[in-house]
Structure 1
């Protein structure tokens, strides 16, 4: 990069003297003695090749060359000030662009609170939000196409040695998703074992392997393997298919907020069965934007969907 022809300290001294039109006052404002100020102006005039000030007893005035230079000097100084302010804002995480992926069901639970808190604290940050299921989020983090993920049932973090970090944001119980006219819809709670003979509608395993396994494990503990007749990528679609009579499902409790007329949501037994929501990031990422988002997320909370909250899973971190 080429060195600027006119050093900024000289431009600053010139702009202050142009405002004060008095060497003593300008020197005091700059916090320097008058001789160094005179030297700065003399060096600048040498670079320009013309006098910038008329110096007469009791009078200092701009020359035509000085009047021509002054607007450019002010623009240069203002541009530097703006650049410094922008650099400080980005360096502190108060500005910049943060790419956040989230599982669709989290728009019903944790996402609004996280985004609201972050936006309140850092209104100058541009948020790039991307709806994405768990497995693609993990790939996107590794490929550096997102900065942070909010997902369900993250993989094990290898004791903190893996490239991705995970922090529990909340855990929430499961609910049975039933057609509104189903006999079990009249109960306050549903034992998972009571769904053994029902056809199931579930997410396909590749989009969320750990959650899929968590649900099938819940069924296995109740003594049966779910008979899956239909898959759907989004929980809203799962619930719509249940409402159409294609089967039943087990889902995170936050899904109740969909409020579908054709669907009944009932807490399940055992109540200890819960699903984990976590924030994920690259451990090596030292971005202040990511650090600020993690601070806004917090962690370790209980169900925020209301209703059947329970204790956070032991050992959640």
Structure 2
């Protein structure tokens, strides 16, 4: 960030506070200085405006909710008007809130770029890279990327958090992490204000118990025994959002029309564990089936006609060119490009047709 951008940030914050200052009275008395808006208060204001509830905003910022509410009330007191309309646990911006938001976002963005840019002058001090992502990517892709990165930046350390995609977004918006590793299909494009750096394409597979051989099955009702059909028609579904859950449900309805939902999980690893126990079958990304140097034992992995999920690194735009983040992004891409999926068996004949909707 250049000097003009820094000056603009300082100017905007100064203008916000200048608008709030009342003219001094024409008396000999010295009036107490009116409190000024702080960056901390602007960050709280921004987080509340982008969260559904105060509870989520507090979690995002790592603050106790009473402390957050107190700071928000203090900000409204300084401004002299309400910034939010509060209606049954929902908070919407008032006209004054919208006015402040347009300027606060510029101030916070410039300050973030300033803080991040100063890391290059850390003088050998340790830099902590904060990441959040989904389990499978943190287990399979990230370790090799960190190993490669340490060859160039041996003093960098990492703060790594495993989270669901929605929580990863909240942490990014709240500036609690620098990089998020998620599937692009798991986040709404319109709500994302970050670069999406492609890391790896992860094929979808049908995971079944090892004892369930589907290689020559054309008509399950004819080619499988009763017990085998029962297992095949027990679906163990992973869901992380309404849209994805609907797409998964549609896939099972089209490909396994006699199935029933045996379990719904928030983790592919849990779903696959249930499959290994012989409790049903699961549609899952190939990376989630990796254990150590190969695939999990006790299961078979079948190809399905479905597009892969696209794993991306979500980052604020300045990190694309700022070290050590740019090198980490490059190493993540290198590891993703060299990733080899576990051995997959050919698509069973009865599934060898495209689904109507992509997953």
What TM-score does the superposition give when structure 2 sets the normalisation length? 0.50
Q: Could you tell me which residue of structure 2 aligns to residue 304 of structure 1?
A: 340
2:187 is the alignment partner of 1:155: yes
Q: Secondary structure at the match of 1:288?
A: coil
Q: After TM superposition, give the deviation of residue 171 of structure 1 in Å.
A: 0.5
Q: Contact 1:89–1:95 at 8 Å: present in 2 too? A: no
- Call closer, same or farther: CA 1:242–1:307 in 2, change over 3 Å: closer
Counterpart of 1:178 in structure 2 is 208
CA contact (8 A) 1:151 1:278 kept: yes
SS in 2 for 1:246: coil
What is the CA-CA distance between 1:93 and the residue it aligns to? Answer: 9.5
Among candidates 146, 153, 156, match of residue 115 of structure 1: 146
What TM-score results when the alignment is normalised by the length of structure 1?
Answer: 0.55
Distance (whole Å) between structure 1 residues aligned to residue 310 and residue 218 of structure 2:
21
| Alignment coverage as a number of residue pairs | 215
Match of 2:158 among 127, 145, 151: 127
Q: What aligned pairs does 1:203-214 form with structure 2 within 5 A after superposition? A: 203-206=238-241, 212=245
Runs of 4+ in 1 over 6 A off after TM superposition: 188-192, 194-197
Q: Which residue in the other structure is 2:137 paired with?
A: 106
Matches for 1:219-258 after TM superposition, within 5 Å: 219=252, 222=255, 224=257, 227-258=260-291
CA shift, 1:191, in A, is 11
Structure 1 match to 2:233 = 198
Tell me how large the CA RMSD over aligned residues is. 3.9
Q: How far does residue 92 in structure 1 lie from its aligned partner after superposition?
A: 9.1
Gaps of 5+ in 2: 1-117, 345-359
CA contact (8 A) 1:173 1:275 kept: yes
Q: Distance in 1 between matches of 2:318 and 2:163?
A: 22
Distance 1:294 1:143, change over 3 A: same
Rounded to whole Å, the distance in 2 between the matches of 1:252 and 1:229 is: 19
> Whose radius of gyration is greater, 1 or 2?
1
- Between 1:289-298 and 1:213-222, the stretch displaced more is 213-222
Pairwise mapping of residues 1-317 of structure 1 onto structure 2 (< 5 A)?
Answer: 90=121, 95-152=126-183, 153-155=185-187, 157-158=189-190, 162-184=192-214, 187=215, 198-206=233-241, 212=245, 215-216=248-249, 218-219=251-252, 222=255, 224=257, 227-258=260-291, 259-261=295-297, 263-270=298-305, 273-283=307-317, 287-298=322-333, 301=337, 303-307=339-343
Query: Secondary structure of 1:276's partner?
Result: strand
> Which structure 1 residue ranges, 5 or more long, are not aligned?
1-86, 309-317
CA shift for structure 1 position 295? 2.6
